[in-house]
Structures are given as structure tokens and as C-alpha cells.
């Protein structure tokens, strides 16, 4: 029996292309936003609250843009039209939003003084790199790769994600 057939319910959900895409995109988005917003060394509690607000706005705007693009792209499909299809296309972007939640919590917590606000961006970046590793590992395992190969792909995916984040931060 292959790996694909032995997945439990949670793994099946995580293996869906829209979940993998949204999880990866959300982790990269959150990391890029934190890197871009904190690159000038401002690290007060108010700055962290500001960063969290901008991440929330950007994540919501990205989810809406992706949902809208999917709606337009599926318009020719007879089963994807009307208000229900529009709501469904937007609702399918939940993985992108969910992937930004850990970083949002870290930033809001720092902004509220729950923990140290200086350096929280490094904690968020490290966590998001781990998320990218986990998404890469999940995708590799679902595709039937061995554990050794999956771990290697997860490491490669997390490093690629880190490169994308650094590039985004340098551009912004």
C-alpha cells in the first residue's frame, strides 16, 4: 500500500494543492513582510503592533487577490459560476491566512508586551523557515518519496524559501 493510501484525515487535508500552496505562500509572505518592515532596526512595541497590522492587511489582501484570480480563471468551467462559486473561491484561501497566524501572534504578542519585542522578527523567520521545511516534507511524503528523500527536499525547500524571503526584503 502506498503512502498516499495510508494518509490520515489531517494529512489528506494538508496534501491538497491549495493547502500546500497557501501554506507555503503564507509562510513566505509573513517572513517577507517581517523582514521588510523591520529592516531599518525599529523595534519598539508600537513598531511590532504596526508590523502585525500590516501583515494582517497584506495577508487579507493577498487572499482576496488569489481568490479573485481563481474565480476569474474558473469562470469558463460550468460548475464554477455565481455567488456560491465566488464565496467558495475566496474561502479556499484559508491556508494562506492560517499560515500567517503564528507570525501575527508573535508580532501582536510583542506589541502587547507579552514577550520581548526586540528580535522577535528572527523568531518569526526561524519559525516560518521551519514551516517551509514541514510543507516541503509533507509534499514529498504525499508524492510517495522515501523519508530520507523527503527530509532532503524539505531542507531544500526551506532554504529556497529563505532565499526568496531575503530577496523580497532586499527589494522592498
Q: What is the pLDDT of residues 20-61, one digit of tens each?
A: 999 999 999 999 898 888 777 777 899 999 999 999 999 999
Measure the CA angle with vertex 117, ends 128 and 172; round to 5°.
55
What is the pLDDT, as a whole number, of residue 96?
A: 95
Rounded average pLDDT over 119-140: 93
Give the DSSP letter string of 17-41: HHHHHHHHHHHHHHHHHHHHHHTT-
5 confidence band (pLDDT: 50, 70, 90): very low
Higher pLDDT, 71 or 145: 145
3 confidence band (pLDDT: 50, 70, 90): very low
What is the pLDDT, as a whole number, of residue 172?
A: 64
Residues 6+ apart with CB under 8 A from 52: 104, 107, 108, 111
Amino acid at each position: 500500500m502506498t503512502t498516499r493510501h495510508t494518509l490520515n484525515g489531517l494529512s489528506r487535508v494538508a496534501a491538497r494543492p491549495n493547502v500546500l500552496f497557501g501554506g507555503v505562500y503564507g509562510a513566505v509572505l509573513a517572513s517577507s513582510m517581517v523582514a521588510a518592515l523591520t529592516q531599518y532596526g525599529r523595534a519598539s512595541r508600537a513598531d511590532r503592533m504596526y508590523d502585525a497590522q500590516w501583515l494582517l492587511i497584506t495577508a487579507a489582501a493577498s487572499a482576496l487577490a488569489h481568490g479573485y484570480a481563481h474565480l476569474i480563471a474558473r469562470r469558463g468551467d460550468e460548475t464554477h459560476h455565481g455567488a456560491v462559486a465566488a464565496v467558495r473561491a475566496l474561502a479556499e484561501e484559508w491556508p494562506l491566512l492560517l499560515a500567517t497566524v503564528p507570525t501575527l501572534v508573535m508580532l501582536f504578542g510583542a506589541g502587547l508586551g507579552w514577550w520581548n519585542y526586540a528580535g522577535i522578527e528572527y523568531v518569526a523567520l526561524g519559525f516560518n523557515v521551519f514551516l517551509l521545511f514541514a510543507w516541503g516534507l509533507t509534499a514529498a511524503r504525499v508524492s510517495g518519496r522515501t523519508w530520507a528523500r523527503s527530509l532532503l527536499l524539505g531542507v531544500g525547500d526551506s532554504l529556497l524559501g529563505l532565499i526568496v524571503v531575503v530577496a523580497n526584503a532586499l527589494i522592498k
